[in-house]
Amino acid sequence: MVVEKMPYMKSVAIVLVIGAGSRYEEEKHQGISHLIEHMLFKGTNQRKNTLEISQVIEGIGGEINAYTSKETTQLYVKVPQEQFKVAFDVLADIVLNSLMRREDLYKEKKIILEEIKKYQDIPEELVEILLDQIIWKNHPLGKSILGDEKSIRNIQREDLLSYIDEFYRPNNLVISVTGNIKVAEVILQIKKCFKRMKEGEIKKYIPAYDNQNISLIGIRFKKTNQTHLSFGFPGISRLSPDKYSMDLLDIILGSGLSSRLFQEIRVKKSLAYDIHSFIQYFNDISSFNIYVGTDSSKTKEAIHTTLEELRKIKEDNLKEEELRKAKEMYKGALSLNLENTLSRAFWLGNKMFLYGRPLTFDEVRGRIEEVKVEDIQRLAQNIFIKNKINLSIVGPFKEKRDKEEYNSLLQQL
């Protein structure tokens, strides 16, 4: 549990972080974490269906939802301060008392199958799905959070109940509450609502390792006007002391309109409408990803220019002033984000789940300030290596014909 009193706010946010995500799943039940997330909102004895659950929260001006990642399932609610007990009761009810009815499961499986088809139809999403399959081949991290058609059809009610029994445990759960609330009131609600939840042994995930030694390319033909590219490089764990250097490298290269990639590829050379970088962090590894959406006739030049920017930062062209600006951007964005009760509850809950204690803003700010130019360069040299490049391409290309040609481009790094 982590609670932060924000007496100047009119709202309270509650986040439940459960250590159950797609990397914990058996292949035959791939997508079960996400399916359970959906099923939690289908009804309890107290609130019979999705409408009754949502009306309790939305009827008081609040919001309630959930999402699933590769490592966690997170449920959240934000309500006016005086409605804290109501909101907490609803969250506890759906986590502890969901009925998981067979008829609801049948309907929800059909909805998720449509969701899978939807993402296959969106090139920007498909290119990231393909990249994960390349980087994490034959590993749960390479599997879609949604599952696939076969695995979703395989999942039965008994599988849901067994998975919940295994992972929905107090020693695998963090409750994060922020806003105009007293700690004693939160403790009282936790004791009241979660007293029957029992601790148990939690299944471990399969570790991921960086053992890549050749560049890899995947091409998916799709009749599109644009070509969608996604580069991925195996990186450091989110628990690494170099995490803040990694975050700053991401900001410098591809975060925002002032980033190197945006300025060079979109502003100066007009090679792409959208280009940005992002990091997928996990407990044992990460991937540093760069997305580019470009005209198909400019694909080769876009790849060349992207790699050129990575080469530059490896070769020590980062200046103190550029790093200083990135630090200010990092600290400023984090500070603004943490003004919101819900964002703060997510931040504190995830920090507690990962580190066993909530990090303070001053602590994080201090670690950001400690990063030096040479830390960024060292990290770039260790990550942006040509035999560790993974590239996914979605567009009007044929794999066999074009793969060799694009692979030769990657050797420029």
- Tens of each residue's pLDDT in the chain, 413 residues: 999 999 999 999 999 999 999 999 999 999 999 999 999 999 999 999 999 999 999 999 999 999 999 999 999 999 999 999 999 999 999 999 999 999 999 999 999 999 999 999 999 999 999 999 999 999 999 999 999 999 999 999 999 999 999 999 999 999 999 999 999 999 999 999 998 899 999 999 999 999 999 999 999 989 888 999 999 999 999 999 999 999 999 999 999 999 999 999 999 999 999 999 999 999 999 999 999 999 999 999 999 999 999 999 999 889 999 999 999 999 999 999 999 999 999 999 999 998 888 888 999 999 999 999 999 999 999 999 999 999 999 998 876 667 777 888 888 77
The amino acid occupying position 178 is T
Please tell me the distance from the alpha carbon of residue 402 to that of residue 382, in angstroms, as a whole number: 28
Residue 308 tokens read as: 């050129």
Single out the catalytic residue among 4, 25, 26, 37. 37
- Distances 364 to 244, 267, 327, 361, 369 between C-alpha atoms, Å: 9, 32, 11, 5, 9
Half-sphere exposure of 121 (CA within 13 A, CB side): 6
Model pTM?
Answer: 0.95
- Catalytic annotation on 374? no
